[in-house]
Structure 1
Amino acid sequence: MQRKKNSKGGNTSNLKSHLRYKHPNLYSEYLKIDGNSTITTSEEAQEYNIDDPVLSNLQSNLASDSQGSQASISKDMQPYNSVEKKGFKHLLSVLCPSFEPPSRKYYSDYKIPQSYEDVKNCIKEKLKGVSYLALTTDCWTSGNGHPFIGLTAHIINEEWEFKSFCLACTSLTIDHNSFNIKNSIKQILHDWDIDESKIAGITTDCGSNILKAVELMSFNHVSCFGHVLNTGVTNAFSLQPVKYCTENAVKVRSVFHYSSKMKRALLNEQTNLDLPPLVPPSSSDTRWWSLLPCLNFLYTQNEALKKILICTKHQQMLPTFNQLKLIERILHIMDPLKQLGEALASETKVTISGLCVNLETDSVQLFDNTEDIHFDKNILLEESSTFFSQINYDTEEDGDTDETLNIELSQALNHVELLITDTIFEKLSKRYFEDFKTKQLIQLASFLDPRYKAYCIALFLSKNVPSESTLNDQNIFEAEIEKYIQIPKADLDSDSLAWWKIYKSEFPNLSLLSRKYLCIQGTSVPCERLFNYGGNVITDKRTSLSAEHAEQLIFLSKNSHMIVDS
């Protein structure tokens, strides 16, 4: 039935846009019967139908252009109104003159929610095909003060590849107690149709509320190595001898940060002394590793700094000779820990297996010469603080000839190193070695990693390895373990998953266990990365963005690699 509807006032642009994008069949019919349509000629209206190749091609191009604009919003974390900005419209008019971009409401109310559901369904299908998955979770407060809880999933697929997905970054406007966090996680798992028996483990920070929530859910738990290490190193940086160095490094940075004149003077001295033209780096109180470049700047640029900071007020910021040696020792201790933290934060490689081996190896190396020495921490701290507070700028010139001073300095450096390592490993030991269940979990993961199995053979006999075999034949499983032990371990720089892809047919039971436990994350950094996306979505200019739209945009931006597949 054909029908014309006259309007008494205004225009029908909104109605036409609605028909054009949401009801293409009706829009085609409208084009045929509208005498004033842009596709009619002055003589006779052309007849179009839905099967017309020209119209079909036009609709296809419009859909493709619309999809491209939607991808720009979701992948690049652009605001909805970017499609209405003059520059964007001009760009589209040049690239595709026939395309008229829809309004932002079309994207916010239709296109983005549709893409969200498509990507979610696509990820659901991938998760249905795995036997086990691991989770990471954390809580976050956006720039506008809105609380969220994030949850990520990690799997090892049939091709022995690591895959990570964002399940949710959803609003959490209730109290962040353990009961509510537990219910929020369970609700997300329910929405995704994830059987809790498939959860191999969950990695979180060490907040008491989230630890209790995990305990209530009875999941295998691993404390985030990054958070534990950050706590330990922060405590180590609070030791008075170390504070002398870190506080001076921050003060020196401030001098150059607020004065362009001092920056020019520094550059001139660096040129004269043939030093690398480094600038004082910034640091963050919540990121311990950001202090390392500051300390390195103080150490490597000391000659230039002494020529610039010559006034009494600034000279007090310069490190003494002893403090310079202490900075060198601090960097020597911290650099390997920083590299270990970065390695364990990967989402594409096995990380949990490195926890036990690296920590036990490092602790043995660090305490090898002191494990039988019973020391009083307070006495060492007091003596070291006194030693490194002494002013000795001139020792650099004649210190090498004074054997007594060198012995005292060496002893003081060793004492501070002992205090630092003891402070750090006290936190690490509490989270990974004192809890029997956690220690057993990461030792099992290390045994299943062909790179580290040699370190854990003595700890894991066949009776300690849980069997997932459907053959009900323990003898076969034990024989498989014995064969696995006899095979030479893989190189430390090799890919564990690539190794299992080759040998999975020889070890069917162990390979199943490996896919279960090696997908567990060593850190909750995947959730931290998720919140970085959230910070790019909820910016200072988008503080009024609704929680629902924010959840969809964060989800799509983190899972942007799935948008094309959807």
Structure 2
Amino acid sequence: MIQQVISRPHSSYMQKKLTYKLVCYIISYAEPIHIVEDNNFRLWAKSLDSQFEIPCVNTIKTIIFNSYNSTINQIIDLILKTSNTVSLTFDIWTSQTHDSYLEITCHWLTDSFELYKVILDIEELDKHNAFDIIESVNSVLNKFNIDHSKIFTITTDNGSNVKSAVQQLNITNVKCTGHTFQLSVNLDLKEVDNLISKCKSLIAILSKEKKCKQLHKAQLQITPGLKQPLDIIKDVNTCWNFILYTIEHIMHLKPAIIQLYLTLTNHTIREIRKGAETIGSFIPSTEEFELLEELIEILFPFDEVTQFLSRSKYSTLRFITPILEELAHQFRYFTGKSNKAILVKEMILDNLIKRWGDPRCKHKTLFSTMMILARRYLVVLTSSVPSEQLFSDAGNHMMNKHNRLSLDLLNQL
């Protein structure tokens, strides 16, 4: 009797509920859909709930397809009812299989100032040219019934192809601040390219399994009882902030790296001593370690700013000007000891001014006539208060004890 109850399949409601939970698990953890056909997975699932009928691949795909179409309709309705205008972002990325994709997100504020963000679509791109980008964008906009007149801005990176596409769409293009920071910093870090290359080579050596274990051991020698030795971080060339993280890790692991080098140098086996020579050739000198410390001081504010501006749970455009002012202020008062660090600082500051400087000065050559008119008309005052204030100031001097002041002396005062 009990065995019959245990082996009886779930009700239709419970079966659907559990199947939906399985689909959520597959999506959330990026599991392959074909996991439902794996014998070990099926045995494991059956051991947890023998009454659950594990769905086939086609059932999983059907649920995903139906849920997707339902969500699209909900998003279309949401945008229609809660937005007057929307702002978009899009970016192009390439998968490990070298396929190109365009991802588009949509952002808007409701009349109660609730901020919404939705991922509209991920479109496959044949080519990275402006024509293909425009076709993909228009395809997505048509799918979600978003008219061009409803789009206020499109935020993109600084690539000429995406800028050209947005220009042809006749929509205001906002340049990605994070990408602009990345361009500025990467360009100016070329001044310390040799040191950065040395750090990358050191990271490559210490990232190997054997050296990684030896580095863990060196950390434990320096700090007995250390629960979790720090792993070396691997540099990612596409993101400047990973260069910062790499430098920070090297500085944090500096004692352990030197300890490992000394241990290998004093080893009795000649081959191991050769390994020490390899590591030693990439360990920064005392002066270079000091330079790395100062580079961290220079780059850290950019990392904080990039992280802050990369979030989408609040409006970020309003923060650009005060953030740039604060960065410029910090850089002006940076007092480094290393000439190279000071040079990097000055180049980054110049780059900030070049990219985000006052447009009145930035474009004065391009709009020379407007520059003349602006200097003529923008100085006109609508109040005579400045003169009245002058009389008040003059009155402070022309008191009883100064009542014999000459006009010339009063002017001089």
TM-score, normalization: structure 2?
A: 0.72
Q: Does 1:151 align with 2:104?
A: yes
Contact 1:226–1:341 (CA under 8 A) maintained in structure 2: yes
Contact 1:232–1:426 (CA under 8 A) maintained in structure 2: no
Deviation at 1:91, TM superposition (A): 4.7
SS at match of 2:108: strand
SS at match of 2:154: strand
Structure 2 unaligned blocks of 5 or more: 1-8, 266-276, 364-377, 379-413
The 1:435/1:102 distance shift into structure 2, 3 A limit, reads farther
Partners in 1 of 2:63 and 2:113 — Cα distance? 34
SS at match of 1:290: helix
Contact 1:139–1:150 (CA under 8 A) maintained in structure 2: yes
The 1:319/1:234 distance shift into structure 2, 3 A limit, reads same
SS at match of 2:223: helix
Match of 2:186 among 225, 234, 242: 234
The 1:291/1:65 distance shift into structure 2, 3 A limit, reads same
Q: Does 1:366 align with 2:331?
A: yes
Deviation at 1:161, TM superposition (A): 2.8
Provide the residue aligned with 2:314 in structure 1: 349
Q: Does 1:205 align with 2:157?
A: yes
Moved more, 353-362 or 269-278: 269-278
The 1:424/1:346 distance shift into structure 2, 3 A limit, reads same
Provide the residue aligned with 1:250 in structure 2: 200
Partners in 1 of 2:16 and 2:279 — Cα distance? 64
Partners in 1 of 2:225 and 2:28 — Cα distance? 47
The 1:330/1:119 distance shift into structure 2, 3 A limit, reads same
Match of 2:302 among 326, 337, 350: 337
Partners in 2 of 1:284 and 1:99 — Cα distance? 44
Residue type matched to 2:134 in 1?
K
Residue type matched to 1:358 in 2?
I
Match of 1:138 among 84, 91, 116: 91
Partners in 2 of 1:297 and 1:71 — Cα distance? 37
Match of 1:286 among 238, 260, 263: 238
The 1:147/1:411 distance shift into structure 2, 3 A limit, reads closer
The 1:178/1:432 distance shift into structure 2, 3 A limit, reads farther
Residues 526-560 of structure 1, C-alpha deviations (whole Å, 9 max, x = no match): xxxxxxxxxxxxxxxxxxxxxxxxxxxxxxxxxxx
Partners in 2 of 1:269 and 1:247 — Cα distance? 28
- Show the 5 A alignment for 1:504-515: none
Partners in 2 of 1:278 and 1:287 — Cα distance? 21
SS at match of 2:235: coil
Residue type matched to 1:111 in 2?
I
Match of 2:282 among 291, 294, 317: 317
Deviation at 1:220, TM superposition (A): 1.8
Moved more, 285-294 or 307-316: 307-316
Provide the residue aligned with 2:120 in structure 1: 167
The 1:270/1:276 distance shift into structure 2, 3 A limit, reads farther
Residues 109-157 of structure 1, C-alpha deviations (whole Å, 9 max, x = no match): x222111101111111111121121111011222222221110111223
Contact 1:228–1:428 (CA under 8 A) maintained in structure 2: no
Residue type matched to 1:100 in 2?
E
SS at match of 1:319: coil
Residue type matched to 2:340 in 1?
V
Partners in 2 of 1:275 and 1:422 — Cα distance? 42
- Show the 5 A alignment for 1:109-508: 110-129=62-81, 130-173=83-126, 175-239=127-191, 242-258=192-208, 259-260=210-211, 262-263=214-215, 266-271=218-223, 277-310=229-262, 311=265, 313-367=278-332, 413=338, 415-433=339-357
SS at match of 2:238: coil
Amino-acid identity (%): 22
Contact 1:151–1:167 (CA under 8 A) maintained in structure 2: yes
The 1:282/1:142 distance shift into structure 2, 3 A limit, reads closer
The 1:316/1:91 distance shift into structure 2, 3 A limit, reads closer
Residue type matched to 2:207 in 1?
H
Alpha-carbon RMSD across the aligned residues, in angstroms, is 3.2
How many residue pairs end up in the alignment?
A: 339
Q: Does 1:66 align with 2:19?
A: yes
Partners in 2 of 1:169 and 1:215 — Cα distance? 21
The 1:218/1:249 distance shift into structure 2, 3 A limit, reads same
Partners in 1 of 2:333 and 2:231 — Cα distance? 38
Deviation at 1:270, TM superposition (A): 2.0
The 1:184/1:254 distance shift into structure 2, 3 A limit, reads closer
Residue type matched to 1:329 in 2?
E
Provide the residue aligned with 2:32 in structure 1: 79
Deviation at 1:429, TM superposition (A): 4.3
Provide the residue aligned with 1:546 in structure 2: none
Structure 1 unaligned blocks of 5 or more: 1-54, 370-409, 440-460, 462-566
Deviation at 1:97, TM superposition (A): 3.8
Residues 200-247 of structure 1, C-alpha deviations (whole Å, 9 max, x = no match): 2111111101001111112222111221111222122211xx234323
Partners in 1 of 2:87 and 2:157 — Cα distance? 15
Moved more, 88-97 or 138-147: 88-97
Partners in 1 of 2:49 and 2:170 — Cα distance? 55
The 1:317/1:67 distance shift into structure 2, 3 A limit, reads closer
